[in-house]
Amino acid sequence: MKILVTGANGYIGRHVVSELLNKGHQVIACDLHVTDVDERAERLEMNLFTTSDTIFNETGCPDVCIHLAWRDGFVHNSKNHVGDLSSHFRFLTSMIDGGLKHLVVMGTMHEVGYYEGAIDENTPCNPLSMYGIAKDALRRSMLQYCKEHNCILQWCRAFYILGDDKNNHSIFTKLLEADAAGKEKFPFTTGKTKYDFITVSELAHQIACVATQEKVMGIMNCCSGKPVSLAERVEQYIAEHQLKIKLDYGAYPDRPYDSPCVYGDTQKINIILQRT
């Protein structure tokens, strides 16, 4: 398959590109800069926000578009999330109008907002951050547009991602930086909140499996399906990387929009993984 990956030079994108190439697909890797993209991919430097009516042809008439491009993903209340929303919509609808028949978009658990328990495709959404609000709005609009224009849509919701930690801005990145700086303590919350953790390599594998099949569609969770407390996972990370730093529990309050326990329902992703 010929697969366009937007945001290909980003934290998740680089892994998705390599995963698809390893599966034998032709990959068009698109981003503002493509310096860190797998050399086996066809590289395309482009600003998607300057979309023209011929964007589908300009990007090589792909069989599938995996849209990962997004600014400030680790800054949940950046105004760029809502500010860029119309540009994402314009790009995706222009691709569909041009002939795209299969679209995969990166979503997030933050579309849902405060929720306790397993999130599935029918879980009500009430996002509490600019990031969640923008992703939720894009999901709703693309579900409608794809239905009207006979385009397959697969919306991949990600949960708590780790791995390749020097290239993201998560708590694990900050731990590495603090330990390297010789700090003895790391300010921390209570750590009791339970999340669904997934490594970026496994997330890339799941996204690639989703995108290269057409039987399972709609909203699906790319996750482990296993809730683990933040304290347990961070302590495990410290041990795995043999860091000397210690957690200073209670230095920060828990975020008000984080539920005590939230994780993804894996029914749909498991069906896909079993078939690939």
Is residue 143 helix, strand or coil?
Answer: helix
| Same-domain status, 211 and 180 | no
| Same-domain status, 155 and 232 | no
258 found inside a domain: no
| Same-domain status, 149 and 269 | yes
Find all residues with CB under 8 Å of 260, minimum gap 6, and list them: 116, 192, 193, 194
What span, in angstroms and rounded, lies between the C-alpha atoms of 235 and 237?
5
Q: Which domain holds residue 99?
A: 2-161+197-224+265-275
| Same-domain status, 58 and 151 | yes
- Which long-range contacts does 251-254 make (Cβ < 8 Å, 24+ apart)? 251/187, 251/188, 251/189, 252/187, 252/188, 252/189, 253/189, 254/189, 254/190, 254/192, 254/193
Between vectors from CA 139 to CA 203 and to CA 98, what angle results, nearest 5°? Answer: 95
| Same-domain status, 76 and 117 | yes
Domain count along the chain: 2
- Here the CATH number for the domain that contains residue 70 is 3.40.50.720
| Same-domain status, 176 and 212 | no
255 found inside a domain: no
What digits encode the pLDDT tens for the residues 139-173?
999 999 999 999 999 999 999 999 988 778 888 99
| Same-domain status, 172 and 100 | no
pLDDT the model gives residue 165: 80
| Same-domain status, 189 and 269 | no
Can 131 be counted among the known catalytic residues? yes
61 found inside a domain: yes
Active-site position among 131, 160, 195, 263? 131
Q: What is the pTM of this model?
A: 0.94
253 found inside a domain: no
- Per the CB < 8 A criterion, the answer to whether 77 and 130 are in contact is yes
pLDDT the model gives residue 51: 79
257 found inside a domain: no
Q: How long is the chain?
A: 276
| Same-domain status, 71 and 171 | no
217 found inside a domain: yes
What digits encode the pLDDT tens for the residues 164-210?
887 788 889 999 999 999 999 999 999 999 999 999 999 999 999 99
Q: How confident is the model at residue 52 (pLDDT cuts 50, 70, 90)?
A: confident
What span, in angstroms and rounded, lies between the C-alpha atoms of 211 and 12?
15
Mark 167-193 as b/e (b = at least 16 C-beta within 10 Å).
Answer: ebeebbbebbebbeeeeeebebbebeb
For residue 47, what are the CA distances in angstroms to 8, 17, 31?
12, 18, 7
- Per the CB < 8 A criterion, the answer to whether 120 and 155 are in contact is no
What digits encode the pLDDT tens for the residues 91-100?
999 999 999 9
Nearest CA to 10 out of 58, 48, 51 is that of 48
Find all residues with CB under 8 Å of 55, minimum gap 6, and list them: 48, 91, 94, 95, 98
| Same-domain status, 40 and 63 | yes
| Same-domain status, 77 and 185 | no
| Same-domain status, 214 and 233 | no
